[in-house]
Amino acid sequence: MNRRQFTLVAASVIAAPAVARAQDMFKTSKHTLRLVTLTSGLEQPWGMAFLPDGRMLITERPGRLRVFANGRLDPTPLPGVPRVVASGQGGLLDVCLHPDFAQNRVLYLSYSGEGAGGSATTVARAEWGDGGLRSVTRIFEALPRASGGLHFGSRIAFDRTGLMYVTTGERYNKPRAQDPGDLGGKVVRLRDDGTVPPDNPFVGRAGARPEIFTWGHRNPQGLAVHPETGKVWEIEHGPRGGDELNILKAGANYGWPKATAGIDYNGSIISPYKTLPGMEDPIRTWVPSISPSGLCFYTGTAFPGWKGSLFTGGLSANALFRIELDGARYIGEERLIEGRLPYIRDVRQGPDGMLYLVTHSDKGGLFRLEPA
């Protein structure tokens, strides 16, 4: 199937305009757009991925993987999902297809997995079958495990070379982010089978975990690969203030909690430093927090004025953020559909060039932004 055929098939599968319900019209600086509700039958959706035929996979935090196709949500969850610890912020989180999914039918799930000592951010590799998932294998855990249900990170992305990046939160335990012997508060880089690439920056370093690509992160909940440079971009939650947008560099320390623009929830100072020598400064910092989640570069043609923009959901800001860039430089941003959707957890560009959003609530939904 060539690219044009794929686009036509995918658009026909996900569009189904007869059952979509138009909501509101919004005027932005570049486009007038329409927000369409595709389904409101999701419970705490977290991640999305488009299959080659245009069907969409959606995770629900309590532990279900759902299929949306032909304008409808399949009422039966897919079998084969691994057992998750659905407590606090933990549960079934991201879903990501292997770059060669069309040939090998492999996908990945991130979730809070249990074991001795508590739970940990975990990644499982699975094969897609018509009846559900099979050959489900746990390939990564952000050890050590810990009690509690906070800060799992859990976004997954593949770079152009086929290496997999996974974000891990520091589990609300600040020192973990600065410990190279601990996998909490990191972005790890793995081969597609979970083994460690030999050129990872901490390979062979005493007292350090070889999976680590970057460290000093708090709770990173967005990953995206730049469509031109191939660099991996990451976005993370600060405490009260101090959310960050970063470009990942091998071996770099991103500061948490030694350098931060945020303060603790009780108002106390976490660090007197917003920047420190030897630590990477963010591209953009938000004070007060917007609680960013999900991250994607827009490369489509449906919204030509947005090409090259970066999008993220703002959980606490109740908005979708469009970030304008000049290469690696932050230019400005625009808040879209502000106040219309609570808790935008993920944003993805569909094969039709539209933007798709999920909202994280017990009555969560799947939404599409279209040109009006």
- What is the β-pairing status of strands 212-215 and 219-225? unpaired
Q: Is the distance from CB of 221 to CB of 167 less than 8 angstroms?
A: yes
Cα end-to-end span (Å), the chain: 30
Residue 134 to residues 171, 255, 372, Cα–Cα distance (Å): 30, 40, 41
Greatest CA span in the chain, whole angstroms?
A: 60
> What's 145's DSSP letter?
P
**How wide is the angle at C-alpha 59 spanned by C-alphas 139 and 121, nearest 5°?**
35
Residue 246's closest CA among 162, 155, 171, 128? 155
CA 76 to each of CA 18, 64, 66, 68, 83: distance values in angstroms, whole numbers, following the listed order: 22, 9, 7, 11, 17
Per-residue tokens: 363: 């009555």
Indicate which residues carry an active-site annotation. Answer: 151
- Contacts of 195 by beta carbon, 8 Å cutoff, 6+ apart: none
CA dist 364 → 23, 43, 60, 172, 358 (Å): 15, 5, 9, 26, 7
